[in-house]
Amino acid sequence: MRNWKWFIAVLLSAVLLGGIASGATAQEAAAGWKVGFARRQIALPENSAEPIYIAGYNSAWEIAGVLDLCEARAVWLDAGEGGVLLIGVDCIALDSGTVGEIRAAIGEIPGCLAINVYATHTHAGPDTLGMWGPTGVNGKNSDYMKNLVAAAAEAGREAAANPREGRLFFGYAVTEDMYRDSRYPYVYDPNLYQLRFEANDGTAGVRVYIYGAHAESLRGDNKLVSRDFPGRLCDGMTALTGDNTMFCPGPIGGLIMTKAFVDDIGKQAEENLAITSDKLIGYAQSITPETERELMLALQFSRSVFTVPLDNPAFALYKLLGILNNKAVKADGATGHGVETELSVLMLDDLAVTLIPGEIFPELVLGGETGWMNYGAVNPRPLNQIAKENGVEQMVVIGLCNDELGYIVPPSDFLLNPDTPYIERITDGIGEDHYEETNSAGPACAQCIADALEAALKNLK
């Protein structure tokens, strides 16, 4: 009898243990998002033979100190059939030449579908385009650029090499009384978007923020290196949550920036930075699990390579002088040249993340009213409309990604100085300053972007 009971007990234990083991195997086999993160500071070179100019406002202004060093941060996103690397660099912008250097420095990554590099667009970092040196002189410090490429490559390789499994969520908060739109018709995206990765093993997660404003709360008198509010937002949320963080600029053309929260921003620039950052941290905290939705395990990536006519003679001259390293090709247009560039779409479940190579006006994304100072010119269909026509209900935009075409302006409001086009700005009949056109590839750029988005969406499965 005892042997019989013993046999039943052993058999029952084997069944139970087998069931637990089978359950554990199924749990382990259950697919989850694989996400990796890494960051590197970009060191300022010591004893460099070249000056380091600050970018974003004035020409030939050398940096005078450091509030906080710029960084490269990287996230690896993988749904199990290949991953995408997204690298954010704290700088004004990067042309496709520098992006190519970063990609080459990273090298081959097994299972990598694409390497994408964007700029956070801080106006308090060293010149990384070359356009803020003395007139006609390359403003990039070659030693700093080497440090930047190395930091971005190291962060990218580490992020791809150390993914963890978990769940991915998307949410947003509507910000209020934060924006200054510098140009009619005063259209902007008020949402602070958040992608949040929650690791199954309970270790630090990852949060990616997307916000459509120029990172220039320190304004034009500043000579101190800083990541501006993108850095303070990320540092603040890491301190509060323990998660790793990174920032992406949204549609910022127009010129979209955060408001001044102090009376004398020249003397109180750091206070303005602190207030701006604290407000954004508060909005980020308001994105809670109750307001998020989970993204199911599905990733697709599509890239569209296209050419934009280079009508801006100043940009063509910068290219001729070796200052800009965008890929130039023969093309129709005012200068006979064009820029070969790329636009990509990253699908995370049903959410489209569109990577745009420039500073696009929000009305070209969101739709609604546009300016009319170039009467008779036809605007492309808004990008959100193109997305919906191709089965995508929700899309967010990351700008300044993989290249910098400058401002992407609605053709209907593209106005040039008739005497010195692209060289000197002009004020229109209602008092609006058309500065952005002087830093644009040309009026055809908007339609090229719209066509590239449609091509990329149609290439998705």
Distances (CA, A) of 455 to 191, 295, 449, 450, 459: 27, 24, 10, 9, 6
Place of tokens 């998660």: 243
Q: How far apart are CA 424 and CA 438, in angstroms?
A: 7
Residue 409 lies in a domain: yes
Question: SS3 for 461?
Answer: coil
Tens digits of residue pLDDT in 221-240: 999 999 999 999 999 999 99
Is there a domain that residue 443 lies in? yes
Q: What's the predicted TM-score (pTM) here?
A: 0.93
Residues 6 or more apart whose Cβ sits within 8 Å of residue 398: 118, 210, 248, 249, 250, 353, 354, 355, 356
Structure tokens at 279: 């407000």
16 inside domain: no
* SS3 at position 155: helix
**Which one-letter DSSP state was computed for residue 71?**
E
**Which domain range does residue 304 map to?**
299-458
Helical pair 142-161 and 96-106, crossing angle rounded to 10 deg: 50
Identify the three-state secondary structure at position 353.
strand
Sign of the four-CA dihedral 241, 247, 250, 256: positive
CB of 145 within 8 A of CB of 246? no
Q: What is the pLDDT of residue 31?
A: 74
Answer whether residue 291 is part of any domain: no
Structural tokens at position 36:
């990796």
**pLDDT value for 333:** 86
What is the H or E stretch that residue 171 is in? strand 164-174
Report how far residue 372's alpha carbon sits from residue 377's, in angstroms, rounded to the nearest whole number.
Answer: 8
β-pairing verdict for 112-119 and 83-89 = parallel
In a domain, 379, yes or no: yes
The secondary element (H helix, E strand) that includes residue 76 is strand 71-78
SS3 214: strand
Q: Which residues of the chain have pLDDT under 50?
A: 1-30
- Is 202 part of any domain? no
The neighbour count for residue 28, using CB atoms within 10 Å, is 8
Count the domains in the chain. Answer: 1
Burial degree of 223 (CB within 10 A; 0-12, 13-18, 19+)? middle
- Beta-bridged to residue 115, according to DSSP, are 85
**Residue pair 88/247 in contact by the 8 Å Cβ criterion:** yes
Reply yes or no: is the peptide bond before residue 224 cis, omega within 30 of 0. Answer: no
For residue 315, tell me if it sits in a domain: yes
Q: How many CB atoms lie within 10 A of CB 204?
A: 15
Identify which of 449, 357, 384 has the alpha carbon closest to the alpha carbon of residue 411: 449
pLDDT at position 11 is 35
Q: Rounded to an integer, what is the distance from CA 332 to the centroid of its chain?
A: 29
Name beta bridge partners: 214: 257
The separation between the first and the last C-alpha atoms of the chain, rounded to the nearest angstrom, is 64
Of the candidates 397, 403, 417, 387, the one whose C-alpha atom is nearest the C-alpha of residue 445 is 403
